[in-house]
Structure 1
Amino acid sequence: MKGKWHLGIIIFSISIITGIIFRTTPLTLAKNIILAVVDPATLELFAIIILVIFLSNLLREKGNLRNIVVSLESFIRNPRLSLIIPPAFLGLLPMPAGALFSAPMVEESSRNLRINTESKTFLNYWFRHIWEYCWPLYPALILTAAILNVSIRKIIIAQLPLTLAAIFAGLFFGTRKISFPQNLTNNRKPREVFKGLLSFIINIWPILAIIFLVLVFKIELILALLTITGIFLAVAKIKGKRIFLVIEESFSWEMLFLIASVMIFKRTIEMSPLLSGIPAFLEDLGASPLLFLFLIPFIIGLLTGITAAFVGMAFPLLLPLIYQSEPNLTYVMFAYAGGFAGILLSPVHLCLIVTKQYFKADFKKIYKMLLLPVAFVVLIALVIVFMSRLWG
């Protein structure tokens, strides 16, 4: 982060400036900051983010992540799928520059395929991010639910079509031109396939268990994380010294400050006249609310390359458009699609930078590959919005 402003400082500064613009007294401003930080929703958010990072680090420490990929390769018959499985499954766990972790696996899987560096870059980058629309372990999704004060389960259901659209777009635009020798198909024996499948389930069980608890039993995410992380710690038998090192790696003051800044910004916006003035402003302007729902998150995503940034900065501003008597989750989905389109196209997105660097790919050619699938996902989001209007 040297030479760059930390995102949390930027959002916190914008909160202070917003308060000054609307003539909030220093005492009221300080009170709003304290109330935002000690709010139960903020404290729960702190705990969830730390637990998610901690569990990700534990799984990496025990070798589960690597074992997941190896086991998948034992029963995947299509060589094209062997390229996308590593980034797709590692994408289930959020981690900084996570695309770099799967890049060597994509390189290894592509050794006998006719595929250029830009295609390898695209597949690694794209499939690393297909889950961010609906996967409950991603901080931005958790943040979205917190800002809107809705169940994360509702967000997941509303945004699942975006993940399905992203998977289709990645397969259609990214794998069609990849060719391979006919003798390259997987001819492993049924016993080897079964062994690989069993290894896969054994290594991925913590992730599956959390999703099962949240979606099926409707248990709060923080309780599911605490339960499964505790069980994993008990059975993993990681030495005490290593556990403390993993805890140290998982605890980030920068991340906590970023989350606090977002919640402070949300409260500052809520306490200002800005929210009540946005609908009137849009009406005077004559522009469609959909334009603002898309553009504001898209621009922030494009400029920052950080999902939490467009969620934390754009969604509080969009609350008047999103909320009627209750949040319009179709609008939330469309705004998220716009913001994430900006993220995927951002030249400062860390995953894009490290993947491009690893494969020594050409930026211009990568962008040519990204534009159509990104546009496809946004188009699907727009179609869903219009369909929801028709069906009322």
Structure 2
Amino acid sequence: MLVFSLGVSLGVILFLVNRKINMGYSMIVAAALLALLNGRSIPYIVNTFLHTIVSQSTITLALTVGLITVLAYLMDQYLILDRMVVSLETILRSAKLTILLAPSIMGTLLVYGGALMSCPVVGRLGDRLSISKDEKATINLLFRHTLFLIFPLSPAMILAIELGEIAAWDLIKIQFPISVFMYILGYILFIRNYKDPEIKKVNTQEYLKAIMQFLLYALPILISLLGALIFSMPFYISLLLGIGISMAINTYDKRYDTKYDMGENPLKTMYKGLKMPLVIAIIGIMFYRNIVTDMDEIYVFFGNLLEQGMPLELLIFMACAVICLSLASAQPGIAILFPIVLPLAPDYDTKLLYAMFIFTTSFLFYYISPLHLCQVLTLEYFEVGLRKLYKNYVYLIPLTFLSMVAIYVVNIF
């Protein structure tokens, strides 16, 4: 019943989203249905929902995402983003290289829902390369997450190292070819065939000027990110600083060129930038996760499967599918399966292979989960449906998984 109910709830989400229903509303309906199918009462569902919307984590996350949309809108309307992208492209000398690297660079900064910050950059560069909306969304998601398997400071990597009692370098080394393969495959599928627009040649002085311009126009983003990461500010506070810097840049620009004057109160511009559908999506995601994480049946179910002698690799695959698709996170798959599976390994090398299998499979199911926050925000931003995005994954995800299986099989036998 558990697997059936999870499948039904995920199917409801996919159906409603493809019917243009907001992701947040879709997940609220699916979460309630999941609870009912597993014998939870209506008062329980109502109490869980009320607890979700008043919890500090939901409020903080919704506020953060709302302010990210405001910052992105201001940078777009004030033409700050345009100038940042132009200067970055001048530095890298290639729009294709810029669209490939920009999401990856931002992705290392570990901001929950931060894919929204790279969306405008990918959007602008995608327009220059004449890339379709669905491929822009794919590029933003793909190159933001390609370092997930090897980035030592990611929460998933830290959790895996601690729970598995394995060396960080060992896990990174064995997963490095998978990350590189995914990166190269993404380039071949979504970027290679587009022609790089011609970029004007620059001298040394102009090149240095481009670097300074990039640092200036990237300052709202850099301050927003680094304020939280280095100075341990709440992210919504550092975002307010970024918004303030955007307004300061615009105030300076208006003195010298009227094209930067929008002719409206900055508070009105901020209000226009607030995208409520994304805020509602946060509430839906948090409600669904709270329903799922409160179900002890998940842990009991997979423990029973192991005792009945199911092939280990199939169990890992199924468990990661159910857990990571439902929770839109790789960490629960790692947290649940590492303590169960890794002690079964006869030696350290085999344990490392089991860890890779769990980690990579958890990542891939988290990556494609319809509840994956980065995916939700990216799809909302580019106004793309899940179906189109999943069509772009037809080769990318299975081939990436097979690259991991190949490494596993070669080493295990």
Superposition TM-score, scaled by structure 2 size: 0.61
Structure 2 match to 1:30: 46
| Residues 179, 47 of structure 1: alpha-carbon distance in 2 compared, 3 angstrom cutoff | closer
Q: Alpha-carbon deviation of 1:235?
A: 4.5
Aligned residue number for residue 291 of structure 1? 317
CA contact (8 A) 2:320 2:333 kept: no
Shift in Å, 1:163: 7.0
**C-alpha displacement of 1:94:** 1.5
1: CA distance, partners of 2:145 / 2:228: 16
> Does the alignment pair 1:49 with 2:35?
no
Query: CA 1:131 to 1:207, structure 2 compared with 1: closer, same or farther past 3 Å?
Result: farther
1:40-72 deviation per Cα after TM superposition (whole angstroms, max 9, x unaligned): 111111111111111111111111221122223
Query: Residue 274 of structure 2 is aligned with which of 246, 250, 267?
Result: 250
Task: Give yes or no for the alignment of 1:94 onto 2:116.
Answer: yes
Deviations, residues 330-353 of structure 1 (Å, cap 9, x unaligned): 756642323435779x9xx95999
Shift in Å, 1:316: 10
Change in Cα spacing, 1:102 to 1:333, as seen in structure 2 (3 Å) is same
Please point out which of 344, 362, 368 is paired with 1:335.
362
CA contact (8 A) 2:80 2:217 kept: yes
1:226 alignment counterpart: 240
Which residue number in structure 2 is paired with residue 13 of structure 1?
A: 29
CA distance in 1, matches of 2:229, 2:146: 12
* Deviation, structure 1 residue 201: 1.5
User: What is the alpha-carbon root mean square deviation over aligned residues?
Assistant: 5.0
Q: Any gaps of 5 or more consecutive residues in structure 2?
A: 1-16, 107-114, 160-171, 252-261, 341-353
Structure 2 vs 1, CA of residues 382 and 86 (structure 1 numbering), >3 Å: closer, same or farther? same
CA distance 1:171–1:264, shift in 2 (3 Å): closer
Q: Aligned residue for 2:257?
A: none
1:241 matched to 2:254: no
CA apart distance, 1:86: 4.3
**Aligned mates of 2:404, 2:230 — CA distance in 1:** 26
Q: Does the CA contact (< 8 Å) of 1:127 and 1:167 recur in 2? A: no
SS state at 1:8 partner: helix
The superposition leaves residues 278-303 of structure 1 with CA deviations (integer Å, 9 ceiling, x where unpaired) of 323542472544312554489x6xxx
CA, structure 1 residues 319+173, in 2 after alignment: closer, same or farther (shift >3 Å)? closer
Instruction: Using the TM superposition, give the Cα deviation of residue 38 of structure 1 relative to its aligned residue in structure 2, in angstroms.
Output: 1.1
Distance 2:225 2:406 in 1: 28
Secondary structure, counterpart of 2:92 in structure 1: coil
Contact 1:75 1:186 (C-alpha < 8 Å) held by counterparts: no
Alpha carbons of structure 1 residues 56 and 334: separation in structure 2 relative to 1, 3 Å: farther
Of residues 272-281 and 254-263 in structure 1, the stretch that sits farther from structure 2 once superposed is 272-281
1:314-329 map, 5 Å: 321=336
Deviation at 1:220, TM superposition (A): 4.1
Cα shift readout 1:240-279 (whole Å, capped 9, x = no counterpart) = 5243133233140x33332222222222223334333332
Identity %: 12
Provide the C-alpha distance between the structure 2 equivalents of 1:18 and 1:311, rounded to a whole number of angstroms: 13
Distance in 2 separating the partners of 1:206 and 1:340: 28
Q: Give ranges in structure 1 of 5+ residues lacking alignment.
A: 108-116, 136-140, 142-151, 301-309, 356-362
Q: Residue 8 of structure 1 contacts residue 262 of structure 1 at CA under 8 Å; is this kept in 2?
A: yes
Deviation at 1:317, TM superposition (A): 8.3
User: How far apart, CA to CA, are the structure 2 residues paired with 1:42 and 1:205?
Assistant: 28
Counterpart residue number, 1:304 = none
Most deviating of 275-284 and 155-164: 155-164
Paired residues in the alignment total 332
Match of 2:298 among 275, 288, 294: 275
Contact 2:118–2:140 (CA under 8 A) maintained in structure 1 = no
Q: Secondary structure at the match of 2:32?
A: helix
Q: Which segment is superposed worse, 92-101 or 261-270?
A: 92-101
* 3-state secondary structure, aligned to 1:12: helix
Per-residue deviation at 1:223? 3.6
Per the alignment, residue 129 of structure 1 pairs with 141
Deviates more, 1:194-203 or 1:333-342: 333-342
Pick from 220, 223, 230 the counterpart of residue 206 of structure 1: 220
Q: Which aligned pairs between 1:295-306 and structure 2 lie closer than 5 A?
A: 295-296=321-322
